[in-house]
């Protein structure tokens, strides 16, 4: 019997190809020979999209005094702004079109990145007007996205294979797939509970001692355009408080666990760790 969303096939391969297929199997990302063949086909035939949205409009209040003169995403790490690492990650995995939503001191972001050509990408900008929250920021970008897209926060540093992430999203029936990771203290993040790949509960910054999981959202999402119908019309509005919990209840929020380095550079303490620990590629 075929599994959900799949058909059973019998195929014949050349003998010299089988070792190459088997070499992809690591038991974690690629589970078995069948999964390896599906993975290879998905890379060549699967859905292709190359447009990403970076949210970089926050004031970075917790990172003052650094953010009195710089947007949070432009704070330097090993001689480069955080946002350069984000753009590098996107470019590495083929995202060549980037929409950057800016707010506080956004002119400094535009001065640094320009049209993106010197970074190997194409960048356009949306300027955030007032305090609209993450859902309001996404709503402002509605006219830029008609197909599947990737959303990432401009203050996130992550060692994440976006190719596998996108492939995982395409294999599940979610409006949003969220990259998730584990932390010792989840109280400052969006805490999720998983049932298989489904996120069945999402609580933003739960009170200390009430967390039911150490799995948290990493601030990186693959989204279908249906997300725009889920956004509140009011401002400010938050994806984390107003949208993701509702999607979880509707079984439309999927979690993609990963184990690579990850930092949400939102406090001086995290920034200090990043300076010491971030592995520059």
Which domain covers residue 40, as residue numbers? 16-46
Task: Give the other-Cβ count within 10 Å of 252's Cβ.
Answer: 20
Task: Give the other-Cβ count within 10 Å of 58's Cβ.
Answer: 23
User: How many domains, the chain?
Assistant: 2
Helix (H, G, I), strand (E, B) or coil at 99: strand
Could you read off the pLDDT of 243-270 as tens digits, one per residue?
Answer: 999 999 999 999 999 988 999 888 888 8
Same domain for 226 and 189: yes
Average pLDDT of the chain?
Answer: 85
Same domain for 24 and 132: no
Contacts 24+ apart (CB under 8 A), 274-277: 274/77, 274/157, 275/77, 275/78
Instruction: Please choose, from the candidates 223, 239, 241, 219, the residue with its C-alpha nearest in 3D space to the C-alpha of residue 231.
Output: 239
Same domain for 257 and 227: yes
Give the global pTM: 0.81
Which DSSP string do the residues of 6-23 spell out, in sequence order?
A: ---------TTTHHHHHT
Same domain for 93 and 121: yes
Could you read off the pLDDT of 105-132 as tens digits, one per residue?
Answer: 888 999 999 999 999 999 999 988 877 8
């Amino acid at each position: 019997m075929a599994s959900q969303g799949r058909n059973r096939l019998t195929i014949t391969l050349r003998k010299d190809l089988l070792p190459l297929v088997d070499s992809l199997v690591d038991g974690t990302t690629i589970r078995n020979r069948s999964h390896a063949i599906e993975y290879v086909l998905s890379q060549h035939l699967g859905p292709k999209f190359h447009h990403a949205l970076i949210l970089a409009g926050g004031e970075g209040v917790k990172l003052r005094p650094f953010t009195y003169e710089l947007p949070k995403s432009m704070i330097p790490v090993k001689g480069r702004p955080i946002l350069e690492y984000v753009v590098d990650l996107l470019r590495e995995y083929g995202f060549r079109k980037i929409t950057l939503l800016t707010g506080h001191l956004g002119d400094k972001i535009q001065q640094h990145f320009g049209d993106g050509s010197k970074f190997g990408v194409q960048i356009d900008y949306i300027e955030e007007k007032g305090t609209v929250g993450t859902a309001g920021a996404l709503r402002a970008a509605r006219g830029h996205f008609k197909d599947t897209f990737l959303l990432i926060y401009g203050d996130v540093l992550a060692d994440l294979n976006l190719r596998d992430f996108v492939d995982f999203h395409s294999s599940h029936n979610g409006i949003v797939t969220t990259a998730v990771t584990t932390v010792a203290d989840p109280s400052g993040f969006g805490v999720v509970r998983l049932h298989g790949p489904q996120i069945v509960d999402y609580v933003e910054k739960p009170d200390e001692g009430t967390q039911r999981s150490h799995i948290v959202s990493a601030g990186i999402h693959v989204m279908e355009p249906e997300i725009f119908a889920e956004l509140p019309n009011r401002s400010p509005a938050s994806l984390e408080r107003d949208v993701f919990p509702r999607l979880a209840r509707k079984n439309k929020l999927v979690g993609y666990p990963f184990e690579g380095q990850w930092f949400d550079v939102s406090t001086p303490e995290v920034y200090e760790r990043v300076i010491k620990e971030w592995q520059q590629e």
